[in-house]
Amino acid sequence: MIKIGISSCFMYPDISRSTFGPKSLSYVENDMMEYVSQNGVLPILLPDINKEKLKRILDELQGVVLQGGVDVAPEMYGEKPIGKWLGDAYRDEYELFIIEEAIKRNLPILGICRGFQLLNVYYGGTLYQDTITQRTQSLQHRSAELYDKVNHKISIHKATPLYEIYPFDQDVFVNSVHHQAIKDLSSQLEIWATSEDGLIEAFGHKNFKDTKVMGVQWHPEFSKTLDQLVINANPLIQLFIHQAL
């Protein structure tokens, strides 16, 4: 089987929790595990452990998925936090290490939402800490109440690997669960899709043939919530898996 690592989300010690209160927890959201668990694929949660041990796990993988979650800390791209948007610098360092080691091993990487944003930061790009306050022309891309029911149109750019799997000349819909977004795209990445308000929704490495790094701002693993209203999530994961073969 192909072994695909999934970066962990973290829960930190909280004595108000009745179970594992003083302990740190690593977890994966269930829809993500379902999405990666394609035929012939073994998903593996990448633990927050000693780096040498983590390297040995990465040696056994054929690809890495960076799942969504809490914000990227602004310090990671040279800014100070605005308002309450502090991010999670600890998780950033953990995932940046995974990105670095995966690239050394020439492993395909798929970044989703936060993972998409962190890949841009890894390559030297920057983020809007909060699109609502920093980019007033933006649509509302996130709702705590509606969560994965929020959706909007995207335009897929021609002559990109994304257009090869989604050859739509008209705008199509994706879900939207984010308030941070790419501000300055890394010079090493190219745009694969944009939203109707001009935000970057998908990218790939400019040398995608050799550096198999790609990311999307939406959550393909949540697509079943909106069913046929949004694009089929399967071609995307199949493209990623094909790179891992």
Average pLDDT per consecutive 10 residues, the chain (245 residues; last block may be shorter) = 97 92 94 97 97 98 97 96 90 98 98 98 96 76 67 94 95 91 97 94 97 97 91 97 94
What are the residue numbers of the active site?
113, 219, 221
At 83 the pLDDT is 82
At 145 the pLDDT is 65
At 141 the pLDDT is 58
At 146 the pLDDT is 65
Strand 2-7 relative to strand 63-66: parallel, antiparallel, unpaired? Answer: parallel
Q: Mapping DSSP to helix (H, G, I), strand (E, B) and coil, where does residue 40 land? A: coil
Written as one string, the DSSP assignment of 148-179 is GG-EEEEEEPTTSHHHHHS--SS-EEEE---S
Burial class (CB in 10 A: 0-12, 13-18, 19+), 209: exposed
* Beta-strand runs (E) in the chain: 2-7, 9-11, 25-27, 41-46, 63-66, 109-112, 127-128, 151-156, 172-175, 181-182, 189-195, 200-205, 213-216
| CB neighbourhood size of 21 (10 A) | 10
